[in-house]
Chain A
Amino acid sequence: MKLADAPAATATPGGAAAGQTSRQAGWLGLALLCALAVAVLLSLSVGARGTGVGTVWAALTAPDPANGEHAVVLSRVPRTVAGLLVGSALGLAGTAMQGIARNPLADPGILGINAGAALAVVLGIQLFSVSGIGGHVWLAFLGAGLAAALVYAVASLGREGATALKLALAGAALCAGLGSLLNAVLLLSREAFDAFRFWQVGMLGVRSLSEMVQVAPFLLLGSVLALGSARLFNALSLGDDAARGLGIAVGRSRAVAAVAVVLLCGGATALAGPVAFVGLVIPHLLRLAIGGNYSRLLPLSLLAGPLLVLAADVLGRVIAPPSEVQVGVMTAVIGAPVFLWMLRAGKKVEL
C-alpha cells in the first residue's frame, strides 16, 4: 500500500495551467454559491407543508406572526443554519484531514473521530450530567481530539506511515470499540437511548439558533486555522521531506491543522450528531473539477460541504413521506457509493 501521490501530480502550481484552473475555480465557486442559494431556499420551503418562494421571502423580510405559513418557514430557519454550519465544517475538515494525512480516504466518520466525539458527549451526559451545548461542545472536542490522536498514532507508527488502509482499519476498529461502549451506556438507560438514537443518525434542527451561536466561534476559529494551512498541504503532497525543504515546520503546522480538524469535527458533531461521508466526498469531487491545489480546494469546500448537506436534508424530507430520513443517513447513502467507486477507480487513488 502506497501513499496517494495523486494530488502531487496535479498540485504543481505555476504556468498557464494554473491560470486556467484558477479561472475554473472562480467559475466553480460562483456556481456553487448559486446552487447553495437555491439549496437554502429549498431548505426553507420544502417540507411536510410546502411553501412557495414568495412566501419564504415574505416570511424572512416582513414576518407576520398571524400567518401560519410564515411560522412554518421561520421554524425551518435553525435547521437551515445548522445545515450551513455543519456542512461547511465537515467539508473543510475532510479536505484538511486529507491534506494532513496525505490520504484520499480520510473522513471524520470513517476514521472514528465523530464516534469519539459522540461517545464523549453521551458519557458526559450520563455520568456527569453535563447539560447544554456549552458543555457538550467541550466534550465533543475532547472525544474528537483523543480519537484523532489515537487513530493517527496507530496508523503512522512504523515505516510505511499512515496508509489509506491502515488509517481506515484503525478508524473502523475504533468505531467498533467505541460503539460497544456506547451501546453499554445506552442499554443501561432507556431514556438516554430514546434521546440518543435520533441524534446518532445525524440530524439537523435539534439545536436552537442561540445554541448555534455558542458553537459558531469554535467553527470560525477552526475554519481560519484550516484555511491558513493551504500552503502546508500543498507542500505535504510532495512529501514530508520536500515540505521541510520548502522551509515549513512540518510537525508544528500539522499540529495546528489537526487542532482545526478537531474544532470543526467536534463542533459539527455537537450540533448535529455524527454525520459521515461529507468530508470524504467533497474534496474528491472538487479535486476532479479543479485539481489538487489546496489554496482553492479549502475555500471551495466551505461552499460545497453545506450544499451537499442541505441537498441531502431536503432530499431526506421528500424521499419517504410522511416521515423523513435524517441527514446522516442520506449523506451515507450518497457518500458510500462514491467511496466504493473511488476504490474501483483505484488506479488514480493509489491505495
Chain B
Amino acid sequence: MSIQVPPRSRRRTTSIRVNTTLLAAVLLAFAASVMLGRYPVGPGQLLAIMGGENLPGLSFIVLQDRLPAACLGLLAGAALGLSGAFFQTLLRNPLASPDVIGIGYGSSAAAVAGMLLFSLQGPPLMLAAFLGGLAVALLIHGLARSGRQVGGRLILAGIGVAALLQAVIQYLLTRTDVNAAADALRWLTGSLNASTWERVLLLGTGLALVAPLAVPAGSKLRILALGDDTAAGLGVRVAPTRLGLVLLGVALCAMATAVTGPIAFVAFLSGPLARRLHGGRNNLTGAALAGALTVLAAAFLADNAFGDASLPVGVVTGALGAPFLLWLLVRTNKQGNGG
C-alpha cells in the first residue's frame, strides 16, 4: 500500500491502459501460435483460409490444429487465471491458488478415475472434475475453519490432500493398459495437443454460462477483501457469499482442467502477475488476460522450442512456475510478511 493514492479516475485509466496492453499481448501470442511453427502461414494465406479458400495442407493445419488449440489455450488460460485470482483474493494469500491448495488435484483425481474406470468424456467428465475439485475445496475449508492462521492451515491441508490424491492418481495409472495410462498422463500434464472444435465449444459454452457471474462476484470479492468484519458492516452476508465465491472459483478451475488437464501453475502465476502490472492492486480482468497470455506463450514454447518433439504445455508452465513460486517464497520471507 503506498501512501499517496492517485485519484480514482487516474487509477481507472491506468488499469484500462494496462489491460489493453495485456489484451494486445494476448492477441499477438494468439496470432503467433496460429501462424508460426514448422509450417509458417503468412498473413495473406491466413486471410485466404479464413475467407474459406482451401490451401492444400495449410488449411487443415490452421483450421483443425492450430486454431482450436489457440482458442482452447485462450479460454483455459483465462479461466485458470480468473480462478486463481478469486482464491488469492478471497483467502488474502498470494500462495492460495487452486493448484497449490490441492483443488486442481481433486479435479484431476476425479477426472482420471472417470476416464480410466468409467470411460467418461465431454460434459460428464467436466462434471466429475467439478465435483472432485469441489469436494477438496469443502474438505480443506472444513479442516482449516477453526483457529487463527486460517490461510496457512488451508494451504497445508491442501498440500496434504494433494499428496494423497497424487498417490491415488499414480495408483490409477498402474491399473490400466499402457496406452490408456499414457493418454491420461498426457492429460495430467496439461496439454493442448488434442484440441478439437468440439472441446472449444464445450469449454466456451461452460464459460459463457459462468462468466457473467464473475462481474457481481468481483465486487463482492473486493468488499470481502477488506476483511470479514468490515464486509459484514457493509451489509454483506459473509459466509454464504464466501461459499458462492468458492463454488465459482472451483467451477472455473474445474472446467478448464476437465478439457485441457491441469496446466501447472497458471492459476498461481496469473494473479501476482496481474497485480504487479496493476501497481499492486487485484484486477480480475487482468488476471484472466495474464492467464491466457501465460498459456498461449507457454504452448508456443512447448511446440517450437524443443526441436521435433512437441511437449505438452504443462511441462513448460510447471518448469517455469516452480522457480517463480520458490522465488516468491524467498521474497515474502525477506519482507517478513510471508505466510
Contact = CB atoms under 8 A, between A and B. Distances in A.
A176 B264 contact: yes
Contacts of B157: 340, 343
Contact of B323 (A158, A169, A177): A177
Interface string B308-324: 01011011111101110
Contacts, number: 181
Interface in B155-175: 155-157, 159-164, 166-168, 170-171, 173-175
A325 interface: yes
A277 interface: yes
A28 interface: no
Nearest to B142: A344
B159 A110 contact: yes
Given A169-B159, A169-B339, A340-B161, A180 B186 contact: no
A186 interface: yes
Nearest to B151: A165
Interface string A201-212: 110000000000
B332 to A, nearest CB: 8
A248 interface: no
A332 B326 CA distance: 25
A190 B339 contact: no
B326 A174 contact: yes
B58 to A, nearest CB: 27
Contact of B315 (A110, A158, A181, A336): A181
Nearest to B104: A176
B329 A197 contact: no
B326 A154 contact: yes
Interface in B136-185: 143-144, 147, 149, 152-153, 155-157, 159-164, 166-168, 170-171, 173-175, 178, 181-182, 185
Contact of B164 (A154, A164, A333, A347): A333
Nearest to B333: A158
B67 interface: no
B164 A351 contact: no
Contacts of A198: 174
A101 to B, nearest CB: 15
Contact of A343 (B160, B166, B329): B160
B312 A183 contact: yes
B36 to A, nearest CB: 22
A17 interface: no
A193 B161 contact: no
B338 A150 contact: no
B189 interface: yes
A164 B339 CA distance: 10
The secondary-structure label for the interface of chain A is: helix
Contacts of A57: none
A156 B321 CA distance: 20
Contact of A181 (B143, B159, B265, B318): B318
A109 B164 CA distance: 11
A154 to B, nearest CB: 5
B156 A351 contact: yes
Contacts of B164: 332-333, 335-336
B99 interface: yes
A198 B99 CA distance: 25
Contact of B329 (A155, A164, A187): A155
B325 interface: yes
A165 B338 CA distance: 9
B319 A180 contact: yes
Contacts of A188: 309
Contacts of A169: 95, 100, 155, 159, 325, 329, 339
Contacts of B38: none
Given A169-B339, A343-B156, A180 B309 contact: no
Contacts of B95: 169
Given A158-B338, A179-B318, A197-B181, A184 B153 contact: no
B188 interface: yes
A178 B319 CA distance: 7
Given A164-B156, A326-B171, A343-B157, A170 B314 contact: no
A186 B309 CA distance: 13
Interface of A: 1, 105, 109-110, 150, 154-155, 157-160, 163-166, 168-181, 183-184, 186-188, 190, 193-194, 197-198, 200-202, 276-277, 323, 325-326, 328-329, 332-333, 335-336, 339-340, 343-344, 346-347, 351
5 contacts: A180-B189, A180-B264, A180-B319, A190-B182, A197-B170
